[in-house]
Structure 1
Amino acid sequence: MLFILSIFIFVGILEIVTPYLTRKTTVFGVSIPEPYVQHQQLQIFKKHYSMLVGSIAVAFLLGQVLLLFTSIQEESFVLLSFILLYVLLLISAGLYMFYHIKTKKLKTQENWEAHVKTVYVMDLSIREKDEVLSPTFFVLPIIITLALITFTYMNYNAIPDVFATHWNATGEVDGWTEKTWLSVIEMPLILLGLQISFFIMSKGMKSAKLQLSAQEKEASANRELQQRKYGSWYFAAINYSLTILFVVSHYKTVILKDQTIPYFFPLFIGFIVVSLGGLTLLIWKLTKSNERFDDLHTNETAATDDRYWKWGILYINKNDPSLLVQKKFGVGWTVNLANKWSYIILFVILLPILLTIFK
């Protein structure tokens, strides 16, 4: 139960500080001309968002803590905690849209773009400093999973007619599946889809466009390099930890017929630690390298691409060959929906899941 609470606390804190993690030239998905990044009203919007989300998160957390002193069953507590987490995320999304509209309206009313000079900033030498992991680094997990699928079919006759596929929080089996040619590779198939997606995204990250500021060129270049470098490392950490979790679980239950796997929960905890710890490190690195805009010398601002964004969430630009672009709210990447590879990523992720659902 305490582990579930720690996840809720982490996500709650992340939602609270999200407005301050994005580049300062982007507020609630709206591009802000550089001379206006310190605008008082924008700071108020961020503060109000964080206070509202924080108040709701604290209320939900207190409710869960009080439940710990009741006789509630662990399964019910876990279910309720995840429901509250999803509600918190929905509320955060609603507040984001509310302040996105208000920020966009403020920008239009004060006609900021009419008072600045738009310039295009480029520096081809930055690519030489790029430390993004090579896509080949993401090939090994794919090879391991393909070998596991092959080995599974080689031992198909020895696999039990019914095998465990789900466990509760204490590691006890609470779900079984009958053996078929598809069911015995469900777990590796889903893993393979995720691994292929990581491989495609690693290639997309390496070729993603660089976004530089007009008045904080050096700082923005440093942030770009930091996000690409540690972002690729984070992808790799998630990829390899997922591979260990899935491969060990599948091999023990399906191949070795050990339906208990008492170490499944520790492996899952390890994956969560890698996920949350890696994200924390990525955020810390980006926060240290963010532009400051404390001393503005001119009215220049870098060109924006707002016309290619829908609600500051969806990026659709057929003239941009990039697969990945930086999110306009929070930390991380999103896909260019005008790039065919984005749909291939969605396809390889969803196909194994759909096959297992409609088998």
Structure 2
Amino acid sequence: MLFIVSIFIFVGVLETVTPYLTRKTSVFGVSIPEPYVQHQQLQIFKKHYSMLVGSIAAAFLFGQILLLFTSIQEERFVLLSFILLYVMLLLSAALYMTYHIKTKKLKKQENWEAHVKTVYVMDLSIRDRDEVLSPTFFTLPIIITLALITFTYMNYNAIPDVFATHWNAAGEVDGWTEKTWISVIVMPLILLGIQISSFIMSFGMKNAKIQLSAQAKEASANRELAQRKYGSWYLAAMNYNMTILLVVLHYTTVILKNQTAPYFFPIFIVFMIVTLGGLTLFIWKLSKSNERFDDLHTNETASADDRYWKWGIVYINKNDPSLLVQKKHGVGWTVNMANKWSYIILLVIFLPILLVIFI
């Protein structure tokens, strides 16, 4: 239960500081010409957004702490906790859209684009400094999961007719599933979908375009390289972390028939530490490499791509071969919805889940 509280704290802090982690030339999903990145009104928007989101996060955290002192059942506690978390994120999203609209209106009213010179910035030599992990690094987890599925079917007759699929905080079984040809490999199937998606995303990171600033070229290059490097490392860490977690759980409960899995909870704690700790480290590394525009010497700015973004969130550009592009709000990557591989990623992620629901 205390772990859920820590998630509230982490998410709340992340949402609060997001405007200061994003590239300086992108504010609430709107491309800002470089001579205007220090515009006073933009700084006010960021400050107000952070104060409002921080206040909302604090209020919901207080509500979550109050739940700890109630006598409700664990299942209801978890359900209410995630409802609170999702409502908090919805309110944060609503505030984002509000300031997205305000920023677009400010940019249009002051006609910033008419007072700057748009240039295209390229440097092919930057690719030589790229340290994104090779996609082959993501093949081992796939091989392990395929071997696990094969081994499971080889031992199908020895699997109990009913096996454990859910545990409470004390490590006691509180959920069971009947054996079928699909149910015995549900967990490996979901894991395989995640692994294949990670494999495709590693290609996307490797081939994604590198966006450079006109007046902070080297600083923007450093930020791009840092995001690509540490982003691929975090993706790999999550991939292997998830593989260890689900393979151990599946092999213990389905193959070894150990329904209690007393060591699963400690493994889950390690998984969450790696997940949240890795994300924290990634954000810290990225924030250290962000561009600075303290010394603007011309009215030049790199070309913007706002016309390809919907609400500053969804990227659709059929002329861009990139599968992944940097988010315009926050840190990390999003898919190019005009690239057919983006739908393949979504398919391999959700197909196993749909099979579980409808079969």
Aligned partner of 2:192 in structure 1 is 192
Quote the Cα distance in structure 2 between the aligned partners of 1:254 and 1:88.
37
Matches within 5 A, 1:225-244: 225-244=225-244
**Equivalent residue letter for 1:10:** F
> 2:93 corresponds to which residue?
93
Structure 1 residue 271, shift from structure 2 partner: 1.3
Q: What's the offset of the Cα at 1:269? A: 1.4
SS at match of 1:176: strand
Shift of 1:169: 2.1
Equivalent in the alignment of 1:129? 129
CA contact (8 A) 1:75 1:169 kept: no
2:181 matched residue in structure 1: 181
User: Contact 1:313/1:327 (CA < 8 Å) preserved in 2?
Assistant: yes
Question: C-alpha separation between the residues in 2 aligned to 1:356 and 1:285?
Answer: 38
SS of the equivalent of 1:9 reads helix
Q: Which amino acid aligns with 1:47?
A: K
Give how far 1:76 is off.
2.9
Give the Cα–Cα distance (whole angstroms) in 2 for the partners of residues 316 and 63 of structure 1: 39
Q: Alpha-carbon deviation of 1:172? A: 1.5
Q: Match of 1:308?
A: 308
User: Which residue is 1:224 aligned to?
Assistant: 224
Q: Which moved more, 1:59-68 or 1:182-191?
A: 59-68
Residues of 2 paired with 1:203 and 1:267: CA distance?
30
CA deviation map 1:5-46 (0-9, x unaligned): 111100100000011110000000000000000001111111
Counterpart in the other structure of 1:20: 20
TM superposition shift of 1:72: 3.5
Structure 2 Cα separation of the partners of residues 160 and 174 of structure 1: 17
Query: What is the 5 A alignment of 1:114-263?
Result: 114-263=114-263
AA aligned to 1:132 is V
Q: What's 2:7 paired with?
A: 7
SS at match of 1:304: coil
Tell me which amino acid in the other structure corresponds to 1:29.
G
User: What is the alpha-carbon distance in structure 1 between the residues aligned to residue 356 and residue 65 of structure 2?
Assistant: 37
Q: Partners in 2 of 1:172 and 1:155 — Cα distance?
A: 25
Q: Shift of the alpha carbon at 1:78?
A: 2.5
Please name the residue that 1:38 is paired with.
38
1:127-147 deviation per Cα after TM superposition (whole angstroms, max 9, x unaligned): 000000000000000000000
The one-letter code of the counterpart of 1:249 is L
Q: TM-score, normalised by structure 1?
A: 0.98
Give per-residue Cα distances to partners, 1:44-90, cap 9 Å, x unaligned: 11111111111111111122223333434433332222111111100
- Structure-2 change in CA distance of 1:166 and 1:70 (3 Å): closer
- For the pair 1:349 / 2:344, whether they are aligned, the reply is no
Q: What one-letter code is carried by the residue in structure 2 that aligns with 1:302?
A: A
Q: Partner letter of residue 68 of structure 1?
A: L
Q: 1:78-105 CA deviation, whole Å, 9 max, x = no partner?
A: 2222111111100001000110000000
Quick check: 1:64–1:81 contact (8 Å CA) kept in 2?
A: yes
Q: Equivalents in 2 of 1:309, 1:153: separation in Å?
A: 46
Amino acid across the alignment from 1:296: L
Instruction: Give the equivalent residue in structure 2 for 1:105.
Output: 105
- Alignment check: 8 A CA contact 1:45 1:99 kept: yes
Distance 1:178 1:222 in 2: 53
User: Aligned AA for 1:181?
Assistant: W
Residue in 2 that maps onto 1:55: 55
Aligned-partner Cα distance in 1 for 2:77–2:331? 30
Which contiguous aligned blocks of 4+ residues in structure 1 show a shift greater than 4 angstroms? none
User: Are 1:325 and 1:335, in contact at CA under 8 Å, matched by a contact in 2?
Assistant: yes
SS of 1:96's equivalent in the other structure is: helix
Give 1:272 shift.
1.1
What CA deviation, in whole Å up to 9, does each residue of 1:262-304 have, x standing for no partner? Answer: 1222121111111111111111111110011001000000001
TM-score norm. by structure 2 comes to: 0.98
Give the superposed CA RMSD. 0.9
Identity percentage of aligned residues: 86
Query: Could you tell me how far 1:168 is from its partner in structure 2?
Result: 1.8
| 58-67 vs 89-98, which moves further | 58-67
Unmatched 5+ stretches in structure 2:
none
Q: Which amino acid aligns with 1:252?
A: T
Q: Look up the equivalent residue of 2:165 and give its one-letter code.
A: T
After superposing the two structures, state which structure 1 stretch, 17-26 or 68-77, moved more: 68-77
Segments of 5+ residues of structure 1 without an aligned counterpart are: none
Any idea what the Cα deviations from partners look like across 1:104-157, whole Å, max 9, x if unmatched?
000000000000000000000000000000000000000000000000000000
Q: Distance in 2 between matches of 1:317 and 1:258?
A: 50
Taking the aligned partners of 2:209 and 2:304, their CA distance within structure 1 comes to 13
**Aligned equivalents of 1:13, 1:200: Cα separation in 2:** 30
What is the DSSP-based 3-state SS (H/G/I as helix, E as strand, rest coil) of the residue aligned with 2:160?
coil
Structure 2 residue aligned with 1:327: 327
Q: Distance in 2 between matches of 1:69 and 1:339?
A: 49
* Other structure's SS at 1:330 match: coil
* AA aligned opposite 2:218: E
